[in-house]
Amino acid sequence: AQKVTQAQTEISVVEKEDVTLDCVYETRDTTYYLFWYKQPPSGELVFLIRRNSFDEQNEISGRYSWNFQKSTSSFNFTITASQVVDSAVYFCALSEMSGNSGYALNFGKGTSLLVTP
C-alpha cells in the first residue's frame, strides 16, 4: 500500500505564480518524520526539509513554506513567486520507527513542477 500519496503528477505554472504541492501520508506510528526532496533534471536528490510528528508549526524558508496538518495527515509544500529554476520533481517521504530495518524512506510518486517564463 502506498504510504505517501502525491496526487498531483504534473503541475505547470508561469513564473512568479505561487504553487502548492500536496502530500498525504499514512502511518500507525505516533512518532515519525516527514521529508521533502527536490530532484532536478540532473537526477540528484536535494534535501529540503525534515519535520517530526510532534511539531506542527508551519515553517518558512525563503520562498518555500510547509504546512503540516496532523489532523488530515498532510504535509504540503508551497513555493511562493516561483522561478524557472524551481522546475524539478519534488518528492515527499516518510520515515517511521516501526518501518523496515534501518528506517529507509518511503517516497511518494513525486510531483513534476514546470515553471515557464
Partner 1 sequence: GAVVSQHPSRVICKSGTSVKIECRSLDFQATTMFWYRQFPKQSLMLMATSNEGSKATYEQGVEKDKFLINHASLTLSTLTVTSAHPEDSSFYICSARKAGQGYNQPQHFGDGTRLSIL
Least Å distance, CB 16 to partner 1, is: 27
Taking the least distance from each CB to partner 1, the nearer of 65 and 107 is 107
Least Å distance, CB 94 to partner 1, is: 10
Least Å distance, CB 103 to partner 1, is: 3
Taking the least distance from each CB to partner 1, the nearer of 30 and 101 is 101
Residue pair 77/21 in contact (Cβ under 8 Å)? The answer is: yes
Taking the least distance from each CB to partner 1, the nearer of 17 and 26 is 26
Q: What is the grid cell recorded at 104? A: 529507509
**Residues sharing a CB contact under 8 Å with residue 92, sequence separation 6 or more, in sequence order:** 4, 6, 21, 23, 25, 34, 35, 36, 75, 77, 107, 108
